[in-house]
């Protein structure tokens, strides 16, 4: 089976960053189940544990301090997985949780263990691995990237055929606000990035492009897609004009 890594940002799974949106989980599970049935193994790299924790802990807003964010992540991660489990169960799929840190990816032994676990899960049948950074002990996602870089590292780890980064905007936009369908020059792409980002976003588009560069340099094509629009993942895999695609450059002979 082909391997697809799907990164889901908080803005995709939560409208306000303060509670999870059940309908989104159901739709994503339906689309992933369809991909699985057609012969594509999917690994999800999912944010939104903090958003879930805000509601679980009865807070009126997301904490600003690091300890508060970590506490929300610890309280929200079980709720996040509960929603995933229920949504995928309706399609005959099970979920498996992996909490990783960048240190796990950098460690030769931990990296090997993580790869072996994922390979075993993907070979075992109807299982969708769901990966999040272990926010209760690590702070990279909370400070820098909302799991963007982690998704590229996971794509490398499992030797993925494609990386789809789902966010709350329709790909990369130029200075006039028009969607850019394809980008091959990553230096030019960086000049298109605007500084604005949503309330629940951590890294914004800048860290997404850094993740794309990491994946493309490893030979993994990518797309940045609007995760709130149905059918974007399947359309991107079919080569349709959605989001912004980042093809892998052909090697010169």
Could you report the per-residue pLDDT of 119-162, keeping only the tens digit for each? Answer: 999 998 899 999 998 766 656 555 445 689 999 999 999 999 99
Spell out the alpha helix ranges (H) of 90-107: 102-106
Q: Which segment of 10-19, 39-48, 197-206 scores lowest on mean pLDDT?
A: 197-206
Q: Token match 């010169």: residue?
A: 252
Higher-confidence position of 166 and 125? 166
Burial-class residue 248 by CB neighbours within 10 Å (0-12, 13-18, 19+): middle
Q: What integer pLDDT is reported at residue 195 of this predicted model?
A: 59
Find, among 225, 241, 221, the residue nearest to 233 by Cα.
Answer: 225
The predicted pLDDT at position 95 comes to 98
Task: Give the residue carrying structure tokens 């914004």.
Answer: 204
Distance CA 192, CA 188 (A): 7
CB 222 within 8 A of CB 160: no
Q: Give the pLDDT of residue 148.
A: 92
Q: What is the pLDDT of residues 64-96, one digit of tens each?
A: 898 998 999 999 999 999 999 999 999 999 999
Mean local confidence (pLDDT), 175-189: 87
d(CA 6, CA 208): 13
Gap between the Cα atoms of 102 and 29, Å rounded? 27
- Specify the pLDDT at position 109: 87
- d(Cα 220, Cα 43) in Å, to the nearest integer? 15
In this predicted structure, what is the pLDDT of residue 205?
85
Q: Which tokens is 3 given? A: 């391997």
pTM for this predicted structure = 0.91
Residues facing residue 116 across a β-bridge = none
**Mean pLDDT score of the chain, rounded to an integer?**
89
**pLDDT score of 197 more than 60:** no
């Amino acid at each position: 089976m082909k391997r697809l890594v799907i990164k889901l940002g908080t803005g995709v799974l939560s409208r306000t960053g303060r509670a999870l949106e059940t309908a989104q989980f159901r739709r994503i599970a339906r689309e992933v189940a369809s991909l699985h049935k057609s012969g594509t193994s999917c690994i999800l790299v999912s944010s939104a544990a903090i958003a879930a924790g805000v509601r679980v802990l009865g807070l009126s807003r997301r904490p600003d301090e690091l300890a508060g964010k970590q506490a929300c992540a610890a309280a929200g991660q079980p709720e996040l997985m509960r929603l995933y489990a229920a949504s995928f169960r309706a399609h005959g799929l099970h979920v498996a949780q992996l909490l990783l840190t960048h240190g796990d990816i950098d460690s030769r032994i931990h990296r090997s263990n993580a790869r072996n676990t994922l390979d075993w899960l993907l070979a075992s049948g109807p299982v969708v691995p769901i990966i999040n950074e272990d926010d209760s002990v690590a702070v990279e996602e909370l400070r820098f990237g909302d799991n963007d870089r982690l998704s590229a590292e996971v794509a490398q780890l499992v030797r993925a055929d494609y990386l789809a980064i789902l966010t709350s905007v329709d790909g990369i936009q130029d200075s006039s606000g028009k969607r850019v369908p394809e980008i091959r020059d990553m230096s030019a792409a960086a000049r298109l990035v605007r500084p604005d980002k949503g309330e629940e976003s951590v890294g914004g588009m800048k860290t997404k492009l850094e993740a794309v560069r990491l994946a493309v340099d490893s030979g993994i094509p990518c797309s940045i897609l609007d995760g709130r629009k149905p059918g974007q993942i399947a359309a991107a895999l079919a080569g349709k004009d959605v989001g912004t695609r980042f093809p892998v450059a052909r090697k010169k002979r």
